[in-house]
Amino acid sequence: MAGNNPTHDDSANRAVPFAQANAATRVMLIASGKGGVGKSSVTTNLAVALAARGRDVAVIDADVWGFSIPRMLGVDQPPTVIDDMLIPPEAHGVRCISMGFFADEDQPVIWRGPMLHKALEQFLTDVAWNEPDYLLVDLPPGTGDVAISLAGFLPTAEMYVVTTPQPVAQTVAQRAAFMADKVNLKVHGVIENMSWFTGDDGTRYELFGSGGGGELAERIGAPLIGSVPLVPALREGGDTGRPVAVDAESEAGAVFAEMARVVDVDLRPTTRRHRELRIL
């Protein structure tokens, strides 16, 4: 990847570091069956919450048509280039790369399979990630080329499915879970977004119904790792680049802090991939 051309083929001889047998990074693919469920917002805030626990966190914005991670994180500068490698910018303790750095925000990205595949490969190989504790990948909605390509690049990734409470959303989200099974990935958890709204009187209003996330988790055999409330600050934070997870004492921030704890502690792998012993 060079300059503003994300399809420049510098990555031809580079292996995907996160797919190596001795890789220590936990890769989390954040998926949804449909758009509009807040998947990118969940990705951003979960990344910030993990960073707040002292973890080294990076995000790939793989939603190449609807890129939004830089704006949501508040990243206001593009990557820099050193020795043909991109140095990703950082905000709130999270480094990121996105198609948004290489395309005008108001212009469509009209790409098909091969170009998408190459761009994603370069996001993994041409960026100086070093070795983060977590790499979160914000997938586009649905089960298309991007998800299939990333499953090939990252065969040990953990998938997390975002849904909203209503039955129609969790039925569609189930397709993303079934897609994971088809490409030999395991769904490690379900995240329910827009679960309730708390009024000024303290009453919870379930605007989109209730129980969809739990039902989906039970159906696919994965834990429900959190339910995120619908709060104006969540939307405002995405627009202004100040994620709600920055304030772990807020209603939504506390939820993301607990989800980060669940991922970091409760869902920590019980087996580790050890580095090869090298005799010098």
**Structural domains present in the chain:** 24-266 (3.40.50.300)
Alpha helices in the chain, H assignment, sequence order: 39-52, 69-73, 113-125, 145-153, 167-182, 212-220, 232-240, 251-261
Local structure of 62: helix, strand or coil: coil
Name beta bridge partners: 94.
Answer: 57, 91
Per residue in 175-215, pLDDT (tens digit) is 888 888 888 889 999 999 999 999 888 899 998 888 889 99
Task: Please list, in sequence order, all residues whose beta carbon lies within 8 angstroms of the beta carbon of residue 53, skipping any fewer than 6 positions away.
Answer: 260, 261, 264
C-alpha dist (Å) from residue 129 to 85, 89, 133, 206: 10, 11, 10, 40
pLDDT tens for the chain, residues 1 to 280: 444 455 445 545 678 999 888 889 999 999 987 778 899 999 999 999 999 999 999 999 988 777 899 999 999 899 999 988 999 999 999 999 998 887 666 555 555 557 777 888 889 999 999 999 999 999 988 766 777 788 889 999 999 999 999 887 777 888 888 888 888 889 999 999 999 999 888 899 998 888 889 999 999 999 999 999 999 999 899 999 999 999 999 999 999 999 999 999 999 987 665 555 444 4
Instruction: Give the tens place of pLDDT for each residue, 243-268.
Output: 999 999 999 999 999 999 999 999 99
Count of CA atoms in the C-beta half-sphere (13 A) of 14: 18
Position 172 scores a pLDDT of 82
Q: CB-based burial of residue 7 (10 Å sphere; 0-12 exposed, 13-18 middle, 19+ buried)? A: middle
Please name the residue that has the structure tokens 């469920």: 37
Which residue type is seen at 18? F
Helix (H, G, I), strand (E, B) or coil at 101: helix
User: For the whole prediction, is pTM greater than 0.75?
Assistant: yes
Give phi and psi for 160, each to the nearest 5. -125, 130
Q: How many helices (H) and strands (E) does the chain have?
A: 8, 12
Q: Is 187 helix (H, G, I), strand (E, B) or coil?
A: strand
